[in-house]
Structure 1
Amino acid sequence: MLSMFRCTCHKSLNQLPITNRWNKAKFSTSSRSLYDHILVNRPAKGVSLVTLNRPKSLNALFTPLILELNDALQSADSDSSIGAIVITGSERAFAAGADIKEMKDKTFSEVYEQNFIRNWSEATRVKKPILAAVNGYALGGGCELAMMADIIYAGEKAVFGQPEIKLGIIPGAGGTQRLTRLIGKSRATELILTGKTLNAEQALAWGLVSAIYPPDKLVEETINTATLIASHGRLAVQAAKESINYGLQVGLEDGLLYERKLFYSLFATHDQKEGMSAFIEKRPSKFKGN
């Protein structure tokens, strides 16, 4: 959760740097201004786009931003018109880490009793698929937030890492656990114990990200994938995500049994009947999400 910069954020959209104004202008459908540290838009049918918005601090994460992010994610998760969620930052940084100013003077008893950063992992409780579009720095808490997504796409200049060791601490929002599961024990241990970073090409080769795009095309390409996912039956999409995540926590046999039960359950849905009928009749499916 290392941060490279720290500051207060802009509250006026007119004060945003060019990169964030680009995102705002290009994806301005159904914009919401309920938040101080994030932007929420509807760039395409069935897709919610959440943009981290602390430009001067390179989107350093701190509790007020996380609370807003959690609220936006829960709102999208409970909105029947949303089928997929995209989280992004600016072209300079997805999130450069956690804001060290917030935690520098905290004591052990304080963080322990308050269960500090417990709510930083709420994204993993969202049923709908989350895609992370990572441009620039995704370090410490920023890397951990990206890894909470179901799919990660990277810009060509993206930089990933868990450099908390340089601050005398370790990752606290899942870095030692998720990074190890995604890229393997040896590679994850090297990155965490040395504080080294990972460029986009290495992240792709090691399986941390699914694809790399030019920085100015990254969000658009991520939204395209989110739109495709949102076009499918919502219950089937959520069941697939649930099955994948459950399987990562248990053995193969338990995972297969859980998958089969979810598979059976989808035969009680309208979308299963519609999807199979449409296939036989050689026509597009008209899913209703039930």
Structure 2
Amino acid sequence: MTVHVEERDDRVIATLDRPEKRNAIDQDMIDALHALCAALEERPRTLILTGSGGVFAAGADIAQLRDRTAADARRGINAMAFIRIRELPMPVIAAIDGYALGGGAELAYAADIRIATPSLAIGNPETGLGIMAAAGATWRLPEIVGEARASDLLLTGRTLDADEALRWGLVSAVHPADRLLPEAHAIADRIGANDALATQHTKRALRTPRAQHPAIEFELQAELFDSPEKHRRMTAFLERRAARTRQHDERTTR
């Protein structure tokens, strides 16, 4: 099993698990990621992606890459799996410890939220191996960190440490290794406290091309405005506020 999957009611924790290969992404792992996506498309839940053995993913499996042909490149083997992860209905959180290189970095770029440990080493050294980063880095990385920084990283092939990745906004937070998964779960808890449909619509709007805004928000918001959950949550909010106001007034009149 190259991906260990733990299912909960509101989330799924998927751990890349090829420790003997530093979780290098091979065809079996890609197949497992597709199966995971199929389950989350059928029953949307927040996904936490992480790696075993103090490594997220040290890259694609070079032994397999070496034997791939032009026809394989045109199939977009890794890219199609990462696109599917990116398009999952609910948020994806990448909890990154240690190496996230090449395909491992591109898998992390596909997440909505990335957090890391101080041992993070993230980058795309593909050009040094005679190939390019072709599983999302050339279009996702500029969206995340800007064109100048993406060009710096992709054209030099250098690796960022945790401090630089945090300064660049490539990750949103850095935590000690023993706090990485608890912090990922805390994020999932905050997501889970919100309305699932509102969360899904927000993610969809975030991923919609600029030319389709603001029309996409109007349509998605219209659906939410008619939902019973919107009425229930807003009624509960108003009732809590009224209760706090009464408590405040009672204290001030004593």
> TM over 0.5, yes or no?
yes
Residue among 135, 138, 154 paired with 1:192: 154
**Superposition pairs for residues 29-44 of structure 1, below 5 Å?**
36-42=1-7
Task: Decide whether the 8 Å contact of 1:144 with 1:175 is kept in 2.
Answer: yes
Question: Does 2:26 align with 1:62?
Answer: yes
Partner SS for 1:189: helix
Match of 2:78 in 1: 117
1:58 partner letter: R
Identity between Structure 1 and Structure 2 (%): 36
Could you tell me the TM-score, scaled by structure 1's length? Answer: 0.78
Partner SS for 1:93: coil
**Superposition pairs for residues 1-290 of structure 1, below 5 Å?**
36-42=1-7, 45-79=9-43, 83-112=45-74, 114-121=75-82, 122-246=84-208, 249-251=209-211, 254-282=212-240
Which structure 1 residue ranges, 5 or more long, are not aligned?
1-35, 284-290
| Greater fraction helix | 2
The CA deviation string for residues 38-95 of structure 1, in whole angstroms up to 9 with x for no partner, is: 11114x651211101000111100121011122123213422xx63110000252100
Task: Decide whether the 8 Å contact of 1:45 with 1:227 is kept in 2.
Answer: no
Partner SS for 1:131: strand
Distance 2:72 2:14 in 1: 31
Deviation of 1:239 after TM superposition, in Å, equals: 0.4
Taking a change above 3 Å as real, the CA distance of residues 109 and 238 of structure 1, as seen in their structure-2 partners, is: closer
Q: Which has the larger radius of gyration?
A: 2
1:76 partner letter: L
Partner SS for 2:160: strand
**RMSD over aligned Cα atoms:** 1.7
Aligned residues: 240
Distance 1:117 1:86 in 2: 19
Deviation of 1:111 after TM superposition, in Å, equals: 3.6
Task: Decide whether the 8 Å contact of 1:135 with 1:154 is kept in 2.
Answer: yes
Task: Decide whether the 8 Å contact of 2:3 with 2:14 is kept in 1.
Answer: yes
Deviation of 1:115 after TM superposition, in Å, equals: 4.7
Deviation of 1:268 after TM superposition, in Å, equals: 1.8
The CA deviation string for residues 127-168 of structure 1, in whole angstroms up to 9 with x for no partner, is: 111110000001111111011111001111111101101011
Partner SS for 2:122: strand
2:78 partner letter: I
Partner SS for 1:143: helix
1:120 partner letter: A
Partner SS for 2:63: helix
The CA deviation string for residues 146-200 of structure 1, in whole angstroms up to 9 with x for no partner, is: 1111100111111110110101111010011111111111111111111100111
Q: Is 51-60 or 103-112 further displaced after alignment?
A: 103-112
1:210 partner letter: S
Which structure 2 residue ranges, 5 or more long, are not aligned?
242-254
Distance 1:94 1:199 in 2: 14
Q: Is 205-214 or 117-126 further displaced after alignment?
A: 117-126
Partner SS for 1:117: helix
Task: Decide whether the 8 Å contact of 1:91 with 1:215 is kept in 2.
Answer: no
Could you tell me the TM-score, scaled by structure 2's length? Answer: 0.89
Distance 2:76 2:94 in 1: 26
1:277 partner letter: T
